[in-house]
Amino acid sequence: MTAASVQFGQYPPARRTILHLSDTHLLAGNTPLGGRFDTAANLTRTLEAAEATGIRPDAIVFTGDLTDLGEPEAYVALRAAVEPVADRLGAPVVWIAGNHDERPALRRDLLGLEPTEEPVTGVWDLGGLRLIGLDTTVPGWHHGDLDSHQLEWLRHELATPAPLGTILALHHPPLPSHVPLFDILELRDQGRLAEIVAGTDVRAILAGHLHYSTSGTFAGVPVSVAAATCYTMNLARAAVEVNGMDAGQSFHLVHVYDDTITHSVVPVVDAPTGDFFSAEWVERMSRLTPEERLEAFSRKRH
C-alpha cells in the first residue's frame, strides 16, 4: 500500500482532472501587448507553474483569446510553447476561440483544418467525461453570441448523457460582471443557451474573457472563469476605473468527483513558503489509522 492509495477523508480521489487556462493574447514577434505586457514570458511562467504541480491532467483547456490579433505567426508560437508541455503531461489540448481570435488562422495554424469562418467547436471524451467546446465569437465584433445552428448542435449532443457528465468550455461567460466594460461585451441572448443546458448532464461551464477569476451559476450549473495568463484586471479599483496589471496571473485545477467539481485558483507567483508538509509527512500520515491521524494532526495542542 502506498501513501497515494490511502484515503484520508470522506471523498475518494477525483475521477478526472483538467488544467484550465485562458487569455494568452500572444502577438507575432512577441510584440509587448499594449506596449507593456510580455505575453510569451507570462505564458511560459504559467505553463512552468502548471507542470510543477505534478498533476497528469486528462485535458488542458484554453478558453479563448489565444492571440491578440489573430496573426498566424502568433498561433504558431502558441503551439510551440504549449505542445511540448502537453506531450510531457500526456494530455490533449483543447483550444477555444475568443473574441480576439480569427477563426481562419486558428483553424489552420492550431487545428490543421481548412481556414474558414466556421465556428470552432468540438467534443472530447475524457474517459467518460464529455467536454464540449463552443464558439461564442462573432466575426468582426468583441461581444459574444451563439447562432441557432450551433445551439441546435449542442442540443443534439446533450440529448444523450455521458457516463461522467458534461463540461462546457466557451470564452464569454454566461455571468454578469460588476465591471461595466465587460457587460457591454457579454454573451448575448443567454436565455437561448439556458433553455438548452437546463436539466441536462452539464455539470460545469469553463470560461475566460474577464481577465479575473470569478464564479457563479447559470441555468443551475456552476460557472468558473479563469483569469488570464497575459495580464489581469486590478479589481482593487472602483469598477469604472478597472484596468489591466502585470500581476495576479493564475490558472485553475479542475477536479471532477462523483458528486461535485472543484475549481482551484493557482496563482503564478514567486514567494517563499513553509516546509512543514511534504511527501514524507503524507507518507507518515498514511501509516496511521484514521483515529491516529486525528490525534496526531487534528487535536489542538495548548
**Which cell numbers in the block locate residue 96?**
477555444
Query: DSSP state, 159?
Result: T
Residue 1, pLDDT above cutoff 60: no
pLDDT tens digits for range 47-93: 999 999 999 999 999 999 999 999 999 999 999 999 999 999 999 99
Model confidence at 5, in pLDDT bands (50, 70, 90)?
confident
Distance (Å, rounded) from C-alpha 131 to C-alpha 200?
Answer: 14
CA neighbor of 228 nearest in space, from 33, 83, 46:
46
Distance (Å, rounded) from C-alpha 177 to C-alpha 266?
Answer: 22
The distance of Cα 260 from the centroid of its chain, to the nearest Å, equals 17
pLDDT tens digits for range 216-275: 999 999 999 999 999 999 999 999 999 999 999 999 999 999 999 999 999 999 889 998
